[in-house]
Amino acid sequence: MNSNFMNMVAKAAENKSLFDTSVESIKEALDVSVKVTPKVVSHMPTQARPTTGWLRGALSYPWAIVCLVIPAVLDLVV
């Protein structure tokens, strides 16, 4: 084969090896960082999610009843 092509393949293999080494070092650094970082404990009380007092899901919004339920009922009546 052409020596220029072989040099390109060798250089690509070397670059891949360097990339794999850097990825492994970053992975190890992240693992150490995660293990060393203390867990943050919040002393603030958790707030309950606000509710509308309506049904759960999409029907919890009044617009759903106005835009969907009432027209469907009117179509059944008419």
Closest Cα to residue 69, out of 58, 27, 10, 2?
58
Structure tokens that stand for 25 in this block: 């070092």
Domain residues for 61?
3-39+54-77
Residue 46 lies in a domain: no
Instruction: Tell me, yes or no, whether 49 lies in a domain.
Output: no
For the entire predicted model, the pTM comes to 0.42
3-state secondary structure of 44: coil
pLDDT at 55: 62
**Domain contains 11:** yes
Convert the pLDDT of each residue in 17-64 to its tens digit.
999 999 999 999 988 888 876 666 666 666 777 666 666 666 567 777
In whole angstroms, give the CA distance from residue 23 to residue 75: 63
Q: Are 64 and 58 in contact (CB under 8 A)?
A: yes
Q: Is residue 44 part of a domain?
A: no
* Domain membership flag for residue 9: yes
Half-sphere exposure of 6 (CA within 13 A, CB side): 3
- Domain count of the chain? 1
